[in-house]
Amino acid sequence: MTRRSVPVAWWPLLLLAGLAAPARSAEPACLTALASRPAPAIQTPLVAPIAAPAGTDDYRDRLRPTPLGWARLDHWCLWVEPAASDGPAALWDQRWLTAIEAALTRWQKLLPITRVADPAAAQVRVLRQRPPLMRDASGRTRASHGRALLEVLEVNRGGSWVLEPRVQVLISPGQRPQATEATALHELGHAFGLWGHSDDAADAMAAVPGAQPVLELSPRDRATLRWLYRQPSRFGQPAPALPEGSAASP
């Protein structure tokens, strides 16, 4: 089976009552991707936030959609890098994995998420990796313990082309367990569509963390996620057909 994948653009970026229950088994959306191709008409990674009505107790006005709409899915397929089974790294890898799974549990209570064993079947891939240094607006470089990187693709699953977000989540293995868990909770929020930051340190999606790690989603986090998943989205929908004679890039 041949799989083709073309990264389009990687974009670093420094609930829910009423939604379907978390998926408990693999669904058609988690079929292995046979091929992928760049989504059309992508000029900029994320566009301007929208205005929020007065009195809104969430941070929807800080979220940014893609040029093709809100990068969310009704059902997510997620792969987490496994821990080493033996050797000196096994204990530390397992501690990292335990923290990731604790954070993921918070999101699985709110969104339909299926864990998969094949990374080629996942829209979200969580890696045990320190993010590279990042240059800020002033030109200075800074380090971070977590980062979510987004690309927008058209993906062939089972013979049908579908528009999908694909997110690579990098979580450093060098933190204390609670810090790792808080970092994962935050970065997974980006992966599941919250491409923006809260201005309140009590929120999991705060731009600047407080003195204590945030290990639970706040009411504002949940309200923002609830709003987001009520918005229409082109993601998860059939993609336009390629022009005759064209094909996915290897």
- Domains of the chain with bracketed CATH: 11-39+57-228 (3.40.390.10)
> In terms of DSSP bridges, do strands 146-157 and 11-12 run parallel, antiparallel, or are they unpaired?
antiparallel
Q: Which two tokens stand for residue 245?
A: 């004679």
The sign of the dihedral angle between the CA atoms of 247, 161, 50, 151 is negative
Assigned token pair, 128? 């045990």
The reported pLDDT for the residue numbered 17 is: 35
Bridging pattern class, strands 134-135 and 141-142: antiparallel
Each residue of 90-126: pLDDT tens digit? 889 999 999 999 999 999 999 999 999 999 999 999 9
Spatial separation of the C-alpha atoms in residues 46 and 115, rounded to whole Å: 27
Closest among 98, 100, 71 to 182, alpha carbons compared: 100
**CB-count burial class (<10 Å; 0-12, 13-18, 19+) for 2:** exposed
User: Which residue in this structure is represented by tokens 């706040």?
Assistant: 218
* Per-residue model confidence (pLDDT) at position 54: 63
- For residue 46, what pLDDT is reported? 61
pLDDT in tens, the chain (250 residues): 333 333 334 444 433 333 444 444 445 569 999 999 888 766 555 656 666 666 678 999 999 999 888 999 999 999 999 998 787 788 899 999 999 999 999 999 999 999 999 999 999 999 999 998 777 666 676 668 999 999 999 999 888 899 999 999 999 998 999 999 999 999 999 999 999 999 999 999 999 888 899 999 999 999 999 999 999 999 999 986 654 444 443 3
**Nearest C-alpha neighbor of 170 from the set 196, 191, 152, 151:** 191
Going by C-beta distance under 8 Å and a sequence separation of 6 or more, which residues neighbour residue 169?
Answer: 124, 125, 126, 127, 146, 147, 148, 149, 184, 187, 188, 190, 191
Q: Supply the Cα-derived Rg of the chain in whole angstroms.
A: 18
**pTM passes above 0.85:** no
